[in-house]
Amino acid sequence: MRRKPGQSMDNGGMDSATQEKLLILMREGRTRAESTDWFRVALGLVYLAGLMTKEEIDFKAVDREFNRILYHTLGKGHTITSVLQFMSGAGVMPTVQSERFLDAFKRHCPGVPLVSVPFLLELNLGVAKNISGLEPEGVLADWIARKKLEQGEGQGAPAAQAHSGVQADGI
């Protein structure tokens, strides 16, 4: 993985400025549980957005670095895999439906447009479906479908915006 200017040597997939922005976003949560959920969801969205590239991705290195960030921030038991699992279930709903979270995410992570959030969550559900063989259903799948309809009616071509190669670098 090539390093970009400002990217520290010990955090392969994410520069130190992005890490700091995620920590600031986390601090905007009102409770420990809310802060933890906000951090996990924001980090997961940054991770998923970083996959939207034509460049080759060294998943082992990227996952290792995201796991290191999670360990240092939240402690033992948190991995990028557990974050993505959390983001594929109903537990993510209070965060993605929170206007406070969406506002904070928009301010601190402008490199991941809010219009891409349903697409990124759908991408994550698609991976979960491939692993489990089960069709995505429930409140998250319903929310994604509803958001896609709303975006289709109100913004013209959100799918093109959501698929436009969102990069997590320099968020």
Per-residue pLDDT of the chain (171 residues; tens, 9 = 90+): 344 444 443 334 678 899 999 999 999 999 999 999 999 999 999 999 998 888 898 999 999 999 999 999 999 989 999 999 999 999 999 999 999 999 999 999 999 999 999 999 999 998 887 777 777 788 999 999 999 898 886 554 444 444 444 444 444
- Report yes or no: 109 and 42 within 8 Å, Cβ to Cβ: yes
- Report yes or no: 49 and 111 within 8 Å, Cβ to Cβ: yes
Separation CA 48–CA 62 (nearest Å): 11
Residue 133 lies inside a defined structural domain of this protein: yes
Q: Which two tokens stand for residue 147?
A: 């958001």
pTM given for the model? 0.81
Q: Which two tokens stand for residue 82?
A: 């557990």
* Total tally of structural domains belonging to the chain: 1
Residue 43 lies inside a defined structural domain of this protein: yes
- Report yes or no: 39 and 73 within 8 Å, Cβ to Cβ: yes
Residue 25 lies inside a defined structural domain of this protein: yes
Residue 168 lies inside a defined structural domain of this protein: no
Residue 170 lies inside a defined structural domain of this protein: no
Domain of residue 96, residue span:
16-162
Q: Which two tokens stand for residue 3?
A: 């390093």
